[in-house]
Structure 1
Amino acid sequence: MKKFKIFSALALSTLALTTGAFLTACGGVADGMYTENGLIFKVENQSVYITGAEEGATEVTIPAEFRDLTVYAIEEEAFKDSTVTKISFEEKDYRLFSIGVHAFNNSAVKEIINLPANVTMGDKVLSGLKNLEKITVYGTGEYYIENGNLIKDDTDLFTNEEIKILVLAPANMQPTANFDNGTYTITGVDEVYDYAFDSNRFITDIIIEEDVKRIESYAFQNVTLNSITIKNTDRFDIFIDGTAFDAHKDLKIYVPATTDYEMNSWLGNTNYLQSHNWLIHPESCTRDDMHMHGLRNTLADGTIWGYDYSLNDEGTMANIKINSSTSAMQSYPDYMR
C-alpha cells in the first residue's frame, strides 16, 4: 500500500510538471499568481486578471495581454489602499475588459490614463479616488471625457431613451466649466452617478439645473456643502436620493417653492431628500439664523427631536410657513450634528 501511495504521488507530480511544460510549449501559461512590471496577475484557465500592485509600486501600466493571454479585468479592491499614483492603459482594444467594485478605494492614484472607452464598470468602481487629478479615455465606446469629467452615454432602463451620465469628477481637480468661486452648476447631463463627486476638494455649493433628472446615492459623499439649490419647478421630474449628500446642521437645501402648497409638496414627497426636512428652504429664503419651514408627513401635534409642531386647519400636514419658521431649532437629529 505504501508503495502504491508513493507511486501515485510521483505520478501526480510528473503529470503536473508535464502539464506545465505542455502549456508553456504550446504558448499557454500555467494557472497561478505572477508578478511583473509592478503588477500582480492571476492566471486561471488561460484567462488573466489583475489582483493588485507590488508593494512600493508608484506607476503601472495595465496591459491588454499577459504572456499572449487576454487580460480580462482589474479585480475587486485590486488597488485599495495602494501607493500607486498613476495607472495607465495601453492604446489598444481591451476585449471584454471590466473593473471590479472599489478597485481604487482609498488609493494614492492621481492619474488614470487611457481608460478604455468600452470598459465595463458597475456601481462603486470609482469610489474613494480622493487624490485623483486627471482621467483620460482612449478608444470608442460609452465612456468619454468632457470638461475633465468622465461621462457615459447610456440607455434609460424604464424609458429606453438615451441618457448622459456624469460618472466622475476628479476630486483633486478644480472644475474647468460651470464653476464660480466654489459654486458648481450641474447641467448638460441627465444623471449624476454614485460617488461622482466623492471627496471633492473645491466645491462648496451646488446648483442643480432643470435638465438634470437624477442624483444618485453618495454622489457628494465626503463633501461638506454649504448649500444645494434645485431649479426644477416640477418636483416629479427630478429624483434625488436621500443619501446623495452628507447632511449636517448648517447645510441649506433651496427648492423652487413660492407658496405654502408647493413647499408642503417638496417636504411631503418621499422620493426627494428623505429625512432632510430640517434643511429645506424656499429659494427666496435669505435668513441666516437656524430655522425651519416644516416637517414631512406629520400625523399629529407633538414634539420630535426637540421640535414643537402642530397640524394645519385641515389636520393633515404640519404647519408650513414660507416667511418664518415653524419653530426655533433647539436640538438636532444625530445626522445633523
Structure 2
Amino acid sequence: MPTLRALRATLVVLTLFGLGTASLPSEPHLTPAAAYLPRLVAGGGAPAAALLAQDASSAHRTTYRSTGPGIRSADRFRAGSITKTFVATVVLQLARERRLQLSDTVDRHLPGLVRGHGNDGRRITLRALLTHTSGLYNYTAAPDAPPVSAVAAIHTAVAHRPTNTDGSYSYSNTDYVLLGLVVQRVTGHGYATEIRRRIIDPLRLTGTSLPGARTDLPAPHGHGYSRDPADGTLRDVTALDPRTAGAAGELISTLADLNRFYSALLGGRLLPPAQLSTLLNTGTTHGIYGMGIYPQELPCGTTVWGHNGRIAGSYVRTAATRDGRHTLTFRVNTDSLTGATLEPALLEAEFCPAGRNRHRTS
C-alpha cells in the first residue's frame, strides 16, 4: 500500500537496477516508469526487477522491461496480499447472488470460532473483515511459528486482544483468512475452488494458481530471496509452505495475469456496477482502503487502484486507472525492498506523463 499504508499492509510472516532489453513486440518506446527498474536494484536492494505496463488508451501500448539476472516476463511468482482482491471479488459476487450479506456477522457463518479475549464474532460483520475494520489481531504478527491452517490462524489471533474496538482501520491478515472460511461455508467449496471457477478460468489467467500445500512454484519461474538481517546475505526462499498465508496471501501469478485481472475487475467484467461501487467505497476507512483494493492519488491528480503483495522472496505491486484501461504491475524477487520513495515515484512516472494537468483525475 502507498507509503505509510504499505507498512500497515505488509504481511509480517509473508515477509507484503541496470535496464534490461526484453520487450513485447508492440512496445513503441521506453516509458519513464521503466527507468526506475535500475533504481530498484541499486537503491532498493533487489537482485532483479521487472514491470509490465499496458495502456489501451494509448494505441494499446504494451511495455515489458526487466533488469538483473534470472527474471523473465512469463515467470510465475508469489503475489502475497494481492490474493485479497481475488477473495473480496468472490465475496461481492456471493453478495450479488444473495448467498450472503455484507451485514452478516462472522458468527452467523462460523458460530463460536471468534470468541474470547475481547473478540466476539457476534459483533463483527463481513463488511468489517473486507475493509480491515474488525479490530482482530493480525495473526502473522505473532512471535511464534506461523500456523499452517486457517483455523489455527484464527485461534492464534483470538488468543490476543483486539487491536481496537472502535471500528477504525487496522490491516489484519486474519480478516481475509476468515473470509476464506466464510466462502467455504457458504458455497461448500474452498475459496481456491471458487476463485478458479469465478475468476481464473473465465479470464483465462493461465499463469495464476492457488497452491494449497504445494511448496514449489510452477514452471517457468525464477528464484526468490530474503535478506538475512544478521549479515545482509541473500537466502533462497523459493520453496515455502503457502498455507501460512492462505486466503490472505497464497496466490501465484504472472505480470500479464495480474494486469488482466485488475483491468477486468475495474472494467466491470467481474462485478456489476452496484457491487463494484461497494468494492471501491473507502468511506469506512476514510479513504485508505476499499474491499481488497485501495486507492493511491498521484501528484498529477490521477488516482490508481490496486494492491501490493509481500511474501518471502517476492514483492509485487499492481496499479490501474479507475476504468482499468491502463495497468502496471512491477515485481522484485526479494521481500526486502528498501527505499520508500521508489514505488510511488515509479507509479508517478507511469501514470503522470510530463505535461499532464496536475488536477486531472481518472
Higher relative contact order (CA 8 A, sep 6+): 2
Name the TM-score, length of structure 1 as normaliser: 0.22
Name the TM-score, length of structure 2 as normaliser: 0.21
Q: Hey, which of these two has a bigger chunk of strand by percent?
A: 1
